[in-house]
Structure 1
Amino acid sequence: MSWTLTEDHLEDLARGAAVLGTGGGGDPYVGRLLVRQAIREHGPITILDPSEVGDHDLVVPTAQMGAPTVVHEKLPSGEEPVLALRTLEKHLGKRASATMPIECGGINSMIPLVVGARLGLPVVDADGMGRAFPELQMETFGVYGVPGSPMAIGGERGETTVIDTGSDNRRMEWLARGVTIRLGGVAHIAEYTMSGAEVKRTAVPRTLSLALTVGRTIREARENNLDPIAALSEALRETLYRNLRVLFRGKVSDVERRTEAGFARGRAQAVSFDGEHKLELLFQNENLLALVDGEVRCLVPDLICVLESESAEPITTETLRYGQRVVVIGISTPDLMRTPEALATFGPSAFGLSYGFTPVEELV
């Protein structure tokens, strides 16, 4: 059922989106400020349940792409994703009926809301990743037959580019990444144009609602002096993300991070509070692999989320720092993201990892 998103929802939504973003997806704080300003200027946003989208409606997802580390220095104005959408509409000769996130993490849960508020478009409560991934071909949309092309890119100075690689989503990513790097490391995009029927068939449903639930659950648990992790585990049990496992508790002891080829890449290490165990995280914008004492505890596409140990506030990969006290959790992805076709697109082998995928609920 559709609902109206207002400024009052944004803090919980941003927190939940950062958890589901598995360390990536861009800075949720920046996204929250952009949406708040758009709502104040243009009014609240209609959030459409996927079941309410007409089969023949044109849905155009919008997003930000680039290295999350760059966004701290190149804050968007909010005009860039609108420019990308309008450019793609002009190319297609059609107007969008709605927009939608491509991922449910960080700032990219927020960018379609900015577009929706500014243009008066509804935003579909679904996305194509069920979390955040670093590359554009890593979408359930593409896995189940929707091409990403043609896509449009909008830059901060009004630059636009249209890329059309047909059904080759990987080449679309490669070309778009090159353009984004030359725009300064961050750009805004419109891609994976699809019908309402294709949304229902290929998208991970109700992830904006899920992000709101996750963020609200953590806040309310803190306000009531309850364990936020236990509360979150209970809240997820009846969703598509059924299993939460605590992977590690300890203190960050080292972070290696570099901005390379349009991504934030690196690894982080932590030591347990008793000094007996060690965690290693590998990330490419998002957390991909968690090893405890050299053993796999969780790996992509399941979610690896780093939270502050007392407040359970999510910590993104670009804000990981030495000395932070953390709890690292693993959350199972929906079955839609664990099929052989999905794992071939965004499973461990897609990132060059030598481990086969095992669900987190079996590892821990």
Structure 2
Amino acid sequence: MLTEVPPFGSELGLIGRIDFQVRADQNVFDDVRLTLINGSRINKLHLSIKSNQQISKNGIPAEISRLLWEQYLQVNGLVFDRDVDLMGQVQAPAPVKIANDLRSILQQAREQNLQVLTARNQVDRYNSKQKRQVLQSFECPANLREQFGLNENSFEVAACFYYQEHDFEHEDSASEQRFLELCQKALINPDLQQAVSLMETLCHLPRKWSALSAYVDRAKLAHELTGKYALVEFPSFKYDWSQLEKHTQGKLSVIQDQIGNRLEFARIALLEQLKNRTGNLCFLTGALAKHLAQSVQQESAVVWLDSYDLEQKSITAQLKLHHNFEEVLSIGANRFVFCIIDGAEKLSDFGFNFPYSPQTHYCN
């Protein structure tokens, strides 16, 4: 989520939200639910996470196949939206050939017409015997076929099933190494010790949230980590923050904060007091606001707005952002944001109604 790497490939896109322990929402694949976003398309992937290996050369176990079909057919009040919902299993690594055969069949099921795939699967040389057995393991149980009037060789659930492996239980874990690399990528300074600390924190948080059947999205995760780690911006918001930084630096460059271009008052104690404020508003002169902005830029993002910016019909368009301005402030930043308003006394009622984010410190 921090680095915006798609966990199940580009076709499903990025994680927008994770819900933990969702059995109460009538889902049997209930360990986590990932809300995955790819452009305008949204999918909800319900995952069962196991520490052992469950698939074999014959495909998925009959118990998992039955659960897939019961969820898909919404048996006994279970819920499944065929336009949105997906199911999946995360488990310990299977032998390479077994895992590859399963992935191949799942890809065929997603990319082909299922009736065509079923017919092709009867041809000896189209798929290997083992692959045909894997597809057969997804067939609808006989009693459910009869109850719902389905034909033999019904394999629809294979098209909405996703499989992934982890080896965190292994001493030389490739999953842990990949996790550590992603943590380093998320940090401004990819120090190994900081990356290990971030990884440990990210391992602890799901345990806390699972106990509460809670959720996490980008804003909540950023809020949890802000102040503890110096994180890079979310990649998809990088352009927007570059625009805001250029805009802010341009505003700061024209503010005179020296007498005769030589004499400057440090105001160190006052700046420390301002930085430690927890309120949303503080009143500053232009020069003092500039000094505050410069003093917090190392550990925080600074956005400088003036009355001209806020009186525009669209502040997003005025700042030439790709995302909505409020969205950039609320979920697009992985650090504290100081928003400094210059010339608030000139604002009309319209200007005062600018997009507000509770995660941001506002000074004027």
- TM-score > 0.5 by shorter chain: no
**Higher Cα radius of gyration:** 2
Higher RCO structure (Cα 8 Å, ≥6 apart): 1
Q: Which one has a larger percent helix, Structure 1 or Structure 2?
A: 2
Task: Identify the TM-score tier after normalising by the shorter chain.
Answer: under 0.3
TM-score when scaled to structure 1? 0.24
TM-score when scaled to structure 2? 0.24
